[in-house]
């Protein structure tokens, strides 16, 4: 499995043109699937030129850059969703549902989830400016304080009994989720689309 999440910021028109170009020259079964990703930036200008001439920029993923953390975050989001639904706290259940959907939009090659992609692709995460704004507002609706007690009670082990060992505390989990929102903020600040691949 790929391990490192690599987020880049790229002009939406440039990205759309690159997707269209690659769609014409790469075989359909190789262009977009869960087994292999097309890295849309490969043919674009970056190395050995000034920052002004670069066609994309790398974004900063502040919490962690390893997709193995996604497995723990995935398990935690499922457990929070189920445990809050079984509780009497409607607000906690709403926050868990929002969190569940927010994290799901960023998964890259994690099991068989289809990541968020504005171009109908299934092998990479691509989020344009309008959806970056929408997802950022979505993130702001998550009340982590309401979710903390459910994490403490329910989120120490996988359903199969194995320890959750990469995301070791609620603070680490919140930091991991917040790092994705930070990518959205970077995209909005630079007026670019966010493209995430795993390598």
Q: Computed from CA positions of residues 103, 106, 112, 117, in that sequence, does the dihedral angle turn out positive or negative?
A: positive
Residue 9, helix vs strand vs coil: strand
Give the side-chain half-sphere CA count within 13 A for 74. 16
Contact of 98 with 138, CB cutoff 8 Å = yes
In whole angstroms, what is the distance from residue 197 CA to residue 39 CA? 7
Compute the residue count for the chain. Answer: 199
pLDDT-flagged residues of the chain (< 70): 1-3, 33-43, 46-48, 51, 63-68, 108-113, 199
pLDDT at res. 37: 61
Query: What was the pLDDT predicted at 93?
Result: 94
- Report d(CA 86, CA 78) in Å as an integer: 13
pLDDT in tens, 6-58: 888 999 998 898 888 888 887 777 777 655 566 666 667 766 677 677 787 87
**93 token code pair:** 């259940």
- Predicted pLDDT of residue 1: 41
């Amino acid at each position: 499995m790929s391990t490192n999440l690599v987020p880049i910021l790229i002009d939406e028109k440039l990205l759309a043109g690159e997707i269209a170009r690659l769609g014409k020259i790469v075989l359909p079964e190789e262009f977009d699937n869960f087994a292999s990703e097309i890295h849309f930036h490969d043919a674009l200008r970056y190395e050995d030129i000034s920052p002004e001439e670069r066609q994309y920029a790398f974004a900063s993923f502040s919490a962690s850059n390893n997709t193995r953390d996604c497995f723990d975050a995935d398990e935690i989001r499922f457990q929070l969703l189920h445990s809050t639904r079984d509780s009497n706290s409607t607000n906690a259940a709403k926050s868990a549902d929002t969190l569940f959907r927010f994290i799901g939009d960023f998964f890259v090659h994690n099991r068989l989830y289809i990541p968020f992609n504005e171009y109908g692709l299934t092998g990479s995460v691509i989020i344009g400016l309008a959806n970056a704004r929408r997802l950022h507002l979505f993130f702001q609706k998550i009340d982590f304080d309401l979710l903390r007690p459910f994490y403490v009670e329910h989120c120490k082990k996988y359903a199969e009994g194995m320890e959750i060992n990469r995301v070791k505390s609620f603070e680490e989990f919140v930091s991991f989720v917040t790092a994705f929102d930070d990518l959205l903020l970077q995209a909005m600040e630079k007026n670019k689309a966010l493209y995430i691949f795993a390598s």
